[in-house]
Structure 1
Amino acid sequence: MRHVFLRDMMLQLSIGVYAHEHTATQRVRINVDLGVSEDRSDESDRIGRVVDYEALAQRVRDLATSGHVQLVETLAERIAQDCLRDERIRSARVRVEKLDVFADMCAAGVEVERCQPVTHPPIV
C-alpha cells in the first residue's frame, strides 16, 4: 500500500459553534493521510495512474472554504468521505486542528480514520 499525504495545510476558516466564531475566521491546520491501493501492472511514470496530491489539496481547500462549519468533526468527516469516493483509496485519516484557541496549547481538534467498506464475495 502506498500513502499519499498532505501535511500541515494552513487555512483561515469560518468554523465553530460560538457566536464570535460566526463573525471571524480562525487558523486551522489540516492533515490528510491516504492509504492507496497500488496497481503493480502499471509502473509507468504518468500522473494519471496515481492519486494526484495537487488535485487532492485543491479538493480539501474547496471543501474547507465552502461555507461555515460548526464542528471540526464535521469538516474532517466531509474530507474523509470525499477522499473515499476514489476507489483506489482504501483508507483516509484526516486531522483538523483549530489553532490559537487556548493560550496554553498549540491546537485542539479531531482526527478521524475511515476505510472503504469491505465487500465479501457471496458464499456458494
Structure 2
Amino acid sequence: MEHPRYADAARATRHMFIRDLVLNASIGVHAHEHAAPQRVRINVDLAVAEEDPRLSRPAVGQDELSRVVDYETIVNRVRFIVAAGHVQLVETLAERLCEACLADPRVHTARVRVEKLDIFADAAAAGVEVERRNRQLSTP
C-alpha cells in the first residue's frame, strides 16, 4: 500500500511531525492493564495546507506562529487525551489522537502510530497506525 506524500508541492502541503513521544497511559483490555499505567510511544504525521495553495512555491511568510500548525499544541492535545482516562484499545487511542489533530482545518491528513512498549518481553513494541483525512476537504 502506497502512503501519501505529506510534504507535496503539487498539493501545497507541508509535513509536520512529532517523533517518539513516550507517555504513561492507562490502556488495555486485561485486568492487570487496569492496575498500572504502561509506556506508549506515539508518532504523529500531519499533511498541513500551505498558506496559499495556489502557489507551488510560496514566498517565505512572516515568522509568526499563527501561520503554522503549532507542534506544541499538538503535543499538549496528545498528552491531555492520554491522561484523560483508561482506554481499552490502542486503536481507540490512535483514532482519538487523529481526530484531535484534524480539529485544525489546515490539517488535510493525520497519521498516528501508538505503540505499547512493554507488552512483550521479546518484542520492542506492539501497536497500530491509523490514518484519517479531514472530512471537510475534498480528496486530491
Give yes or no for TM over 0.5: yes
Which letter does structure 2 place at the counterpart of 1:86? D
Secondary structure at the counterpart of residue 34 of structure 1: strand
* Deviation of the 1:71 alpha carbon: 0.3
Q: Which position in structure 2 is the counterpart of 1:89?
A: 107
Q: Which position in structure 1 is the counterpart of 2:70?
A: 52
TM-score, normalisation: structure 2: 0.82
Q: Which position in structure 1 is the counterpart of 2:87?
A: 69
Q: Which position in structure 1 is the counterpart of 2:23?
A: 11
**Corresponding residue pairs, total:** 120
Unaligned runs of 5+ in 2: 1-12, 53-57
Q: Which position in structure 2 is the counterpart of 1:22?
A: 34
| Percent of matched pairs sharing the same residue | 60
**Structure 1 runs, 4 residues or longer, greater than 6 Å off:** none
Q: 1:34 aligns with which of 24, 46, 50?
A: 46
**Distance change (3 Å), C-alpha of 1:35 and 1:47:** same
Secondary structure at the counterpart of residue 51 of structure 1: coil
Q: CA RMSD in A?
A: 1.4
TM-score, normalisation: structure 1: 0.92
CA distance in 2, matches of 1:119, 1:75: 25
Which letter does structure 2 place at the counterpart of 1:22? H
Unaligned runs of 5+ in 1: none
